[in-house]
Amino acid sequence: MQKSLHPVLPSTADCQILIVEDEFVIANDLSLILSLAGYSILGVADSVAEARDLMAQHRPDMVLLDIYLKGKETGIDLAKELEEATIPFIFISANDNRSILEQVKATQPCGYLVKPFREKDVLTALEIGRYRHAHSAELKLREEKALQIALTDVLSEKDSWENKLLRAAMFLQPHIPFDYLTIRHRKAASDRTYSYYRVGFEEYQLIDQTEFGQLTKTAPEQLAQLQAGITFVKSDRYNHDAFDQLARQHPFVQLLAGAFRLQSALVMPLTIRPSESFTISFFSRQPDQYLGRHLALLERLEQPMLLTLGRILAFEEVARLSEQLRRENSYLQEEVKTIANFEEIIGTSQHLLRVFNQVSQVAPTDTTVLILGESGTGKELFARAIHNLSARKDKILVKINCAALPATLIESELFGHEKGAFTGALDRRIGKFELAKGGTIFLDEIGEMPLELQAKLLRVLQEKEIERVGGNTPIKTDVRVIAATNRQLEKEVADGRFRMDLYFRLSTFPIHLPPLRDRKSDIPLLATFFAQKSARKLGKPFNGINDRVLGELLHYGWPGNIRELENVIEQAVILNNGHSPLELGRPLVNTLFSGNPAPVAPEETGTGRGTVLPPKDLLDVKQIQQETEREYILRVLKQTNGRVRGSGGAAELLNLKPTTLEYRMEKLGIRKTLTVQNPNPVSH
Predicted local confidence at residue 246, as pLDDT: 47
276 lies in the same domain as 193: yes
Query: What is d(CA 666, CA 675) in angstroms, rounded to the nearest whole number?
Result: 12
pLDDT in tens, 140-191: 777 778 888 888 888 888 888 778 888 888 888 888 888 888 888 887 767 7
Predicted local confidence at residue 619, as pLDDT: 60
Query: What is d(CA 454, CA 461) in angstroms, rounded to the nearest whole number?
Result: 11
585: buried, middle or exposed (CB in 10 Å: 19+, 13-18, 0-12)?
A: middle
Length of the chain as a residue count: 684
Domain boundary among 584, 615, 636: 584
Predicted local confidence at residue 8, as pLDDT: 60
Q: Is residue 6 part of a domain?
A: no
CATH number of the domain within which 350 lies = 3.40.50.300
114 lies in the same domain as 237: no
Contact predicate 554/511, CB 8 Å: no
485 lies in the same domain as 373: yes
Q: Is residue 227 part of a domain?
A: yes
Write a three-state SS string for 66-82.
ECCCECCCCHHHHHHHH
pTM above 0.75, yes or no: no
498 lies in the same domain as 389: yes
Residue 568 to residues 189, 422, 516, 530, 549, Cα–Cα distance (Å): 51, 45, 14, 10, 11
365 lies in the same domain as 487: yes
pLDDT in tens, 142-154: 777 888 888 888 8
Query: What is d(CA 473, CA 191) in angstroms, rounded to the nearest whole number?
Result: 10
Predicted local confidence at residue 624, as pLDDT: 65
| Angle (CA) 494 460 440, round 5° | 100
Domain boundary among 532, 554, 584: 584
pLDDT along the chain (684 residues), means of 10: 53 84 88 88 90 89 88 86 83 82 82 85 85 73 81 82 82 84 77 72 59 40 41 59 51 60 79 81 81 80 82 76 71 49 67 88 92 89 89 88 79 80 72 87 90 86 84 84 90 87 89 91 88 86 84 84 87 82 54 32 37 50 69 83 84 78 81 45 40
DSSP letter for each residue of 357-425: HHHHHHTTS---EEEE--TTS-HHHHHHHHHHTSTTTTS-EEEEETTSS-HHHHHHHHHEE-TTSSTT-
CATH number of the domain within which 291 lies = 3.30.450.40
Q: How many domains does the chain have?
A: 5
298: buried, middle or exposed (CB in 10 Å: 19+, 13-18, 0-12)?
A: buried
Find the domain containing 90 and state its range: 12-142
Predicted local confidence at residue 339, as pLDDT: 39
166 lies in the same domain as 113: no
CATH number of the domain within which 118 lies = 3.40.50.2300
How many CA atoms lie within 13 Å of 483's alpha carbon, on the beta-carbon side? Answer: 27
Report phi then psi at 208, rounded to 5.
-75, 115
Predicted local confidence at residue 215, as pLDDT: 39
Bridge partners for 184 per DSSP = 193, 279
505 lies in the same domain as 459: yes
576 lies in the same domain as 591: no
Predicted local confidence at residue 252, as pLDDT: 59
Query: What is d(CA 244, CA 250) in angstroms, rounded to the nearest whole number?
Result: 10
